[in-house]
C-alpha cells in the first residue's frame, strides 16, 4: 500500500478546501485541484464551479500554463477519462506534462472512470486514497447516487418530546421555534429536491421554497416534488414561479427516486407526512434522519411516522447519531440508519 506523506496530505487538504467552494446540490461532484511544481512550490489552483464549466484540473492548468510541466497535481476525485461538456482531464494533465497525479477518491462513475490507469500508461505516476475519508464526506450524496443509482434521502421531521408530529386537531404550526425553522431552510437550500406527498400538499398548501429569515428566497431553489395519485389545485402555492415543481403520480418511493436520479438529483430532502415517511422507511430508502425535537408535550395527536410493522423492541430500527446540536430552544439530532451504513 502506498504511504501518504505529510506533503501529500497538506496539498490534498488544500484541494478539499477548494472543492468545498463548488455547488453542493449541482449534478456534478465538488472537485478541487492544486498544482505544485517540481520545487514543491504552489503553481496554481482550481475548482469546479458547476455543470458546463471547466473541471477543477482544467481550471488549474489554465492558470498554470507551462509551469505545470514536471509537477504534481492534487485532485480530490480521480481525473475523468471521458468527453462530456468538457474534454477528459486525464488527457489534459498528461499533455501539460504533469509528472505525478495524487487523488483522494476513485471515480465510481463508469462512464468517467479509468483516468488513473490511462495516466499510468502515459508514464504519469499516480497515488490514490490520500485523505479519502474527508473527500468521501465532502461528496457523500453524489457518491451515493453514483454507486447505488439512487439519490441520498434525508428525512426531516419536527416532533414533540412525546413523538407527535401534529396535535389531535391536525395542527402542526409551529412545533419548533424560529431558529429551527430557519435551519430547515438552510438545509433545504443544500439539496437537489424537496419531497412531500399529496396529503401534505393538500392539507398544508406549502411553498416548499428555501427562504432566509427575512422571507427572501435563497439564490438556488431545489426542485419541489409531490408524490401521489390525487390531483392538486391549479392555484396551489407549489405552482408559483419561485421554483420548478414536479408531480409524480405514484406511491412507490423507488419509482420516485429512480425518476429523480434520471434528472441528476443526488440529494432528496424528504418532508412528507407520517405515511410517506413510513413508506420510505419500509423500503429501506432513508439514508439519514434529521429530527428537530421540541421541548413540547401534546399527550395525543398524529405520530411522527406511521406504522412500520415493528412489534417488538428487538426489531426496532437503530440509529447512529452523527450530530446533536441545540438550535434555539430545540434539539437537532442527525443520525444514519445502522443497517444502511
Residues marked active site are found at 57
Cα gap 131→133, rounded to integer Å = 6
Helix or strand (DSSP H, E) at 192? none
What is the full DSSP assignment across 248-288?
E----HHHHHHHHHHTT--EEEE---HHHHHHHHHTT---E
Cα gap 226→92, rounded to integer Å = 43
Put residue 146 in one of left, alpha, beta given phi > 0 → left and psi -120 to 50 → alpha: alpha
Cα gap 64→59, rounded to integer Å = 9
Residue 333 near residue 321, CB atoms below 8 Å: yes
DSSP 8-state code for residue 147: H
Amino acid at each position: 500500500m502506498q504511504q501518504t506523506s505529510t506533503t501529500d496530505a497538506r496539498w490534498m487538504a488544500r484541494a478539499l478546501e477548494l472543492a468545498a467552494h463548488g455547488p453542493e446540490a449541482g449534478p456534478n461532484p465538488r472537485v478541487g485541484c492544486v498544482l505544485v511544481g517540481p520545487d514543491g512550490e504552489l503553481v496554481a489552483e482550481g475548482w469546479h464551479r458547476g455543470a458546463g464549466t471547466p473541471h477543477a484540473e482544467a481550471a488549474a492548468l489554465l492558470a498554470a500554463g507551462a509551469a505545470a510541466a514536471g509537477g504534481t497535481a492534487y485532485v480530490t476525485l480521480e481525473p475523468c477519462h471521458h468527453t462530456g461538456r468538457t474534454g477528459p482531464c486525464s488527457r489534459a494533465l498528461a499533455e501539460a506534462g504533469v509528472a505525478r497525479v495524487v487523488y483522494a477518491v476513485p471515480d465510481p462513475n463508469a462512464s468517467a472512470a479509468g483516468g488513473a490507469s490511462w495516466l499510468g500508461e502515459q508514464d504519469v505516476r499516480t497515488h490514490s486514497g490520500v485523505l479519502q475519508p474527508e473527500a468521501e464526506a465532502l461528496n457523500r450524496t453524489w457518491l451515493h447516487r453514483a454507486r447505488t443509482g439512487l439519490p441520498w434521502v434525508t428525512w426531516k421531521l419536527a416532533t414533540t418530546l412525546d413523538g407527535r408530529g401534529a396535535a389531535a386537531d391536525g395542527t402542526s404550526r409551529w412545533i419548533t421555534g424560529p431558529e429551527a425553522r430557519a435551519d430547515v431552510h438552510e438545509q433545504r437550500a443544500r439539496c437537489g429536491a424537496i419531497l412531500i406527498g399529496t396529503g401534505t400538499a393538500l392539507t398544508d398548501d406549502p411553498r416548499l421554497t428555501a427562504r432566509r429569515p427575512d422571507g427572501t428566497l435563497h439564490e438556488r431553489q431545489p426542485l419541489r416534488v409531490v408524490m401521489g395519485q390525487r390531483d392538486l389545485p391549479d392555484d396551489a402555492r407549489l405552482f408559483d414561479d419561485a421554483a420548478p415543481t414536479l408531480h409524480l403520480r405514484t406511491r412507490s418511493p423507488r419509482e420516485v427516486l429512480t425518476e429523480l436520479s434520471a434528472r441528476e438529483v443526488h440529494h432528496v430532502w424528504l418532508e412528507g407526512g407520517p405515511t410517506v415517511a413510513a413508506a420510505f422507511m419500509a423500503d429501506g430508502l432513508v439514508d439519514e434522519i434529521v429530527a428537530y425535537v421540541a421541548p413540547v408535550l401534546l399527550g395525543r395527536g398524529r405520530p411522527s411516522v406511521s406504522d412500520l410493522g415493528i412489534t417488538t423492541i428487538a426489531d426496532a430500527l437503530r440509529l447512529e447519531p452523527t450530530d446533536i446540536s441545540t438550535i434555539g430552544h430545540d434539539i437537532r439530532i442527525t443520525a444514519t440508519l445502522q443497517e444502511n451504513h
